[in-house]
Structures are given as C-alpha cells and as structure tokens.
Amino acid sequence: SKLAFVLAIRPVTCLARGWRRFVMAPLRSALLPACFALAGALDNGVARLPYMGYNTWYDFMCNNINASNVMKLADTLVDLGLDKLGYTYLNLDDCWAVSRDKSTNVVKEDPKAFPDGMKALADYVHGKGLLFGIYTDRGTATCAGRPGSQGFEDVDAKTYAAWGVDLVKEDSCNAEDTPEAASEQYGKMRDALNKTGRPMVFNLCGWHPWYAQKGAGLSNSWRINYDGSNWNAVVVNALTNAAMGGYASPGAWNDPDFLLGSSPGAAVYLTETQSRMQFSLWSVMAAPLIIGSNLLHMSIFDLATYTNMEVIAVDQDPLGTQGAVVWGNCPSLQLPRASKSSAASFDVPNCQQIWAKPLADGGHAVAFINLATGSANVTCDDGCFAKMGYVGGKRPANVRDLWMHSDLSAAGTTISRTLDASGGFALLRFLGGSGPAKVGSGADLARKIVV
C-alpha cells in the first residue's frame, strides 16, 4: 500500500543549542528534569545539527569488540584530528552486553572484553574530549542475540546515564514490526532517557520509511530504511530519503545509515568513487555523519574524504534543511520489504539526479549524481534552477567546486557535468543571484514510494 504521511509536529526546544554555556550548573540541574518531562516528545536540546562521529558496526561487526580496541579508536579519532572537525561521538554498537543482573536487572557488559566496566571506558573516551555512544534494542534481544531493552527501558536508561553515555542507538530486532508497536516501545525508551535528566542523543534504528512520520516526537534521528551495507543498499536508502525532507529539522534528522569508506580492512566498504559520492550526498541530505570505515587503519583517500571541511560545512549548515531532488530521471521507487537483506539486493536503477540544499547564506549546495553503469552527462536546466529559486533568468553569481576546492566561472543558462559510472558525482556550491529558496521538502515524492 502507498504511504500516507502526516507531517509530525515538532515541539519548541526547551533548552536551545549551546545552553550549557549560558546556564549556571545549579540552575541547569533544576531546569533539566522539568524540560525533559514533556510528554510525547523528545525535547532534549541535543543534535541541533546532524551529529558526527564513528560507529563500530561496519568496521568490526561483532569481532574484537573490547575496551582495548575502543580506547584505540578514541586515540585514533583524536590523533587524526577528526574530533576537531566535529566527529566527536564514538559509538559502540552490538556485542558488548552478555546478561542482566538477576536481582537488579542491570545489563552487564562482557567481563572479559570490558574488565574495568563500561563507566571506566566512557570516562576514558570523555578524557579524550569525545562523547560516548552505546547500543541496545527495543526487542527481547539485540540483532546479535544479546540482551534487549524490552521491559527494561527505565533500568537501562538509568544505567546508561550513570555510565556517562551521550548517545543511545536502539535497534529493532526481535520485536513486533508494526508502526503502533514500534512507536510504543521507542516511546518508552524516549521517556526513560528523558527522566534521567542526562542529555543523550536518541538514535532510533527501525528500518522503515514510516518512522519519519513520528520520528521527531520519538528521537533525534530515525533510520528510514534497512542497513546500508553495500552500494545497492546505499542507493535505495538515498532514494528513499528523497521523500523524507519534510520531516527533518534541527534536533530531528532522517538517518540513511552510516558512511561506508573504501578501506578494505573494514567489514563493509565501497569503491573510492562511491564512498565519496555517499559522503557528498549525505551532507546535502543533512544526515548524521557517522563513519563506519576502518578507523584504525584508515586509507589516505578516506581520510581526505572525511576531512573535507567544505563538504562538512554543507552538512553542518545552521539552516538545518534537508536537500531535495530538483532534477532527475529515476523511476518511482519500489521499496524492498521482505527482509533486511532485500535492500542489499536492490537493483540500482540506471538513472541520474540533481539534489539541492538551501544554505543559511542564501546559496545552495548542489550534488550531481550518476547511478547508472555507464558515464553520463547531467544538466541543470531552467526547471532545475527554478526549483532553487533562480527564476526570471537569474543564476548563481558564483559557483564553487567543493572537491576541486576551486571557484568556477559564473553559471550560464545551464550547468552540466560529465559523471563517471556507478557513483560518479559533482558537488557544487551556488552563491547569490537567487530569490527565496524554492527547494521542496520532497513530500510530493512520498506518494510515489510503494512498500
């Protein structure tokens, strides 16, 4: 059946971004419980811009998940200077928990892998100037069969707060896969996290486009499709997200999954071209930038990708608007629904798109992408420019290539780019020359998504 979307109402943020700098500690402690007690909404003052960092899953999966490696990851984030660019969340995914205490129900970390406990690990991460994220599941067990949070939301939230956790990713395995059940269960964790008084990013990992409808009331970000574990799945997640822009706003973001690098040492990786296209498009989509590549042995190419400050600036633009498709010839998307693995086997269409994201300075970030198996010439014409507000013959006064780091000649009647096959791309920044931004939210595309 076709999805019917109703725009979620986003509550006014109780404590605005940057509040910690302006509210004295005693007053802050008094305000937090009142702010977080708001019913039916996650209004925690964090993730006002898409959050950035690293997650262990596509790098390690369940192999060698231990405190020693997590500390090495923290050291590496700092040694590579990634923390200075905004990659501050170090997120431990599945395979850390083994049981629950029989008397208190407190979740227990693997004692061999984490001999000093999780709080000591969080303290080490914090000592590096980073933030610490952890993983759970709304079901009876995690996707790897470890203890889930179903029925233990309050005790788990209190435990995470006591450990000093800054982000909670909650998966959706071993749980009823309906909007009603998912909303109820995620709502329990949202409320439990709010009650702790500790601001924690809540990353909802539910695998379906219908999470976007209620996402802003439940979490700081929500997965809009299955795992982006190969090129096919990266593409289907991007095409799905084209319809979801109307649901994203500061503090609440569509999540098309982690960034896959090109380093073959990771459990999952792309080609160099595909990984850089993904990073460019994710920035235009105002998506969380969570590296899933081989961090401990990151290639020079991947490091250059993730440290491109001009592209990061697009993602972190303070306007906080998700980009939308302003030109394209891709067919209506038939979403795979059978299983998590079906997204990975999705047939990538032979098509091209142009995405545009309005920016706070009045300009636009514009991504040209080619999904076809052959090279293609892609042109932004009058209709394309009009959707960005360039009407009546107006064109950008300046055009900059964000990968060549060079200013180009002023835009003519059209702008064309020849793109390589299977992920060829260009990322430009338009400055000046337009009227009010006309880039749509993608709500019109939502009706074309069939599940």
Q: Indicate which residues carry an active-site annotation.
A: 171, 227
Q: How far apart are CA 421 and CA 351, in angstroms?
A: 10
Look up tokens 């605005």; give the residue: 16
Angle (deg, nearest 10), helices 153-163 and 179-196: 40
Nearest to 143 by CA among 231, 212, 205, 214: 205
Q: What are phi and psi of 119, to 5 degrees?
A: -65, -40
Neighbour tally for 22: CB within 10 Å: 9
Q: How far apart are CA 388 and CA 416, in angstroms?
A: 16
Nearest to 194 by CA among 151, 161, 231: 161
CA atoms within 13 A on the CB side of 57: 21
Length of the chain: 451
- SS3 string, 342-395, reads HHHHCCCCCCEEEEEEECCCCCEEEEEEECCCCCEEEEECHHHHHCCCCCCCCC
Tokens standing for 114?
Answer: 């984490």
Tell me whether residue 393 is exposed, middle or buried, using C-beta atoms within 10 angstroms of its C-beta: 0 to 12, 13 to 18, 19 or more: exposed
Nearest to 292 by CA among 270, 260, 257: 260
Nearest to 190 by CA among 209, 226, 216: 216
Q: How far apart are CA 323 and CA 197, in angstroms?
A: 33
3 state SS of 223: strand
Radius of gyration, CA atoms only, the chain: 21
Q: How far apart are CA 31 and CA 323, in angstroms?
A: 35
Tokens standing for 68?
Answer: 């020693």
DSSP state of 8: P
Q: What are phi and psi of 157, to 5 degrees?
A: -60, -45
Q: Are 254 and 244 in contact (CB under 8 A)?
A: yes
